[in-house]
Amino acid sequence: MTDYSARQIHLLSRPAGMPTHENFKLLEVELEPPSDGQVLVKNLYMSVDPYMRGRMRAEGVYAAPYGINEVMYGGAIGEVIESNDDKLQAGDIVLNQAAWQDKFVADGAALMKLEPFDNDRLSYYLGTLGMPGLTAYVGLLKFGEPKEGETVFVSAAAGAVGANVCQIAKLKGCRVIGSVGSDEKAQWLLDECGADAVLNYKTCGDLTEALAAVATDGIDVYFENVGGEHLQAALQVMNPFGRIAACGMIASYNNAEPVPGPNNLMLIVGKKIRINGFIVSDHTNIRSQFLEDMVGWIETGKIKSRETVVEGLDNAVDAFLGLFSGKNFGKMVVKI
């Protein structure tokens, strides 16, 4: 007999500043059996991502805000365990947007059936082969437009997006400089990902001076994940006609009040710098090309992936909060 009970994490209140456990609640619910065209899915892995903090605001950032006293959502990988959809059957692996719960019922049409390149690496479809990887691919290639021999600077360079940006830039023949928050992350980027120089922003002193010292020919492309002093440094060191792919600004996600921005924004004019903000969901039309390229790079060892895997839905909030203190090394996923 099928068990239709499910555990879910709900948003209880909207955080002011850094979220705490008081903003969330883990509870058990009883699901309705799937009707025609629906399936019951058991989630295997779920993603926690910085953008989720924006969805906890009343006004929403990136997308519609999460509802209060409702289960949150996001990317997850699950297995179909009961199906009333003739296009899906028990055992199929599906990509879904029903994270923060261990089981759910959904229309089969809302799910994406996967043909995994490696069943032992399903979680890659939440990282290197998922939204973060596609974000890196789109942001760098479409908006950064790197040319062979140019210098690319990447903030949060050991994160789920940044590590892929670094490696794709190297594949395109660029010199790569990364910024990270630990010496361990810096060494991994140098040894495994081929970065040419890596700064530990916590220990390097004045970031602008440190960046200028390693970017002796200036920087041509900046992949922006952090904002704040990283954006200030990038603008200062950037060459004329530089390009900034603005993916995120995690340094300000938990600010209860706005903080002053860079004081050198006039350089955008004088250096004729182009800044493009982008949201990856606008570019799903290139997903098939992205997967073809990325799977090939993974299988030939040209792209290395690093994950931080947290066990259990009970620990999903801790995993999410860890994103803002640098506890993730590469992609942060929860194994449910």
Going by C-alpha positions, the residue among 329, 2, 312 that lies closest to residue 160 is 329
If one compares 50 and 24, the residue with the highest pLDDT of the two is 24
The number of helices, as runs of H, and strands, as runs of E, in the chain is: 9, 16
How confident is the model over 129-159, as pLDDT tens digits?
Answer: 999 999 999 999 999 999 999 999 999 999 9
How confident is the model over 94-129, as pLDDT tens digits?
Answer: 999 999 999 999 999 999 999 999 999 999 999 999
- Cα dihedral value 179, 180, 183, 189, nearest 10: -70
pLDDT (average), residues 79-101: 97
Q: Where are the domains of the chain?
A: 5-127+306-335, 131-281
Lowest mean pLDDT among 86-90, 97-101, 156-160, 165-169: 156-160
pLDDT at 63 exceeding the cut of 90: no
Confidence of residue 256 (pLDDT cuts 50, 70, 90): low
- pLDDT value of position 297: 97
Length, in residues, of the chain? 336
For residue 21, count other CB atoms closer than 10 A to its CB. 11
- pTM equals 0.88
Going by C-alpha positions, the residue among 77, 26, 24 that lies closest to residue 309 is 77
Lowest mean pLDDT among 173-187, 206-220, 247-261, 289-303: 247-261
pLDDT at 257 exceeding the cut of 80: no
Q: CA dist 188 to 191, 208, 214, Å?
A: 5, 23, 18
Q: CA dist 201 to 19, 64, 186, 209, 253, Å?
A: 24, 33, 10, 11, 18
CA torsion through residues 185, 191, 193, 198, sign? positive
- pLDDT value of position 62: 66
**How large is the C-alpha radius of gyration of the chain?**
21
Query: What is the share, in percent, of the chain residues with pLDDT greater than 90?
Result: 89
State the chain's mean pLDDT as an integer: 95
Q: What CATH architecture is 131-281?
A: 3-Layer(aba) Sandwich (3.40)
Task: Tell me how many degrees the CA angle 116-319-312 measures, rounded to the nearest 5.
Answer: 65
- pLDDT value of position 61: 65
CATH 3.40.718.10 fits domain 5-127+306-335: no
Confidence of residue 25 (pLDDT cuts 50, 70, 90): very high
Alpha-carbon distance of 305 to 159, in angstroms, equals: 10
- pLDDT value of position 175: 98
Lowest mean pLDDT among 31-40, 198-207, 324-333: 324-333
Confidence of residue 260 (pLDDT cuts 50, 70, 90): confident
